[in-house]
Amino acid sequence: MQAVKAIYKHGNIELLEPLDGVEEAELFIVVLDKKEKNSEIAKTFVATEKNSEQEFEAIGLASYFDTDEDNEVDWEEVFDVKAG
């Protein structure tokens, strides 16, 4: 799954960035009206720059999940989501 930004204008959708490695896909589209782009719902979809606290948390999570014990688990099997 990927999230990309697009513009809808006069019945056309223009992606502002490419879909990496996707030849065919079903799209789920969230429409944010330009007039209401400061609403609480719209703010949850706006990209924000990460601050140092978020970076620190990401580093901590990365080191937590990159352990020998974690690497030995087949998570696709655990969650029954084998790619196929």
Q: Write down the pLDDT at residue 29.
A: 81
Q: Write down the pLDDT at residue 42.
A: 62
pTM of the model: 0.36
pLDDT tens, the chain, 84 aa long: 777 888 888 888 888 888 888 888 888 887 777 776 666 666 666 666 767 777 777 777 666 666 777 777 887 888 888 766
Helix H, strand E, coil C: the string for the chain is CCCCCEEEECCEEEECCCCCCCCCCCCCCCCCCHHHCCCHHHHCCCCCCCCHHHHHHHHHHHHHHCCHHHHCCCHHHHCCCCCC
Between strands 6-9 and 12-15, the pairing is: antiparallel
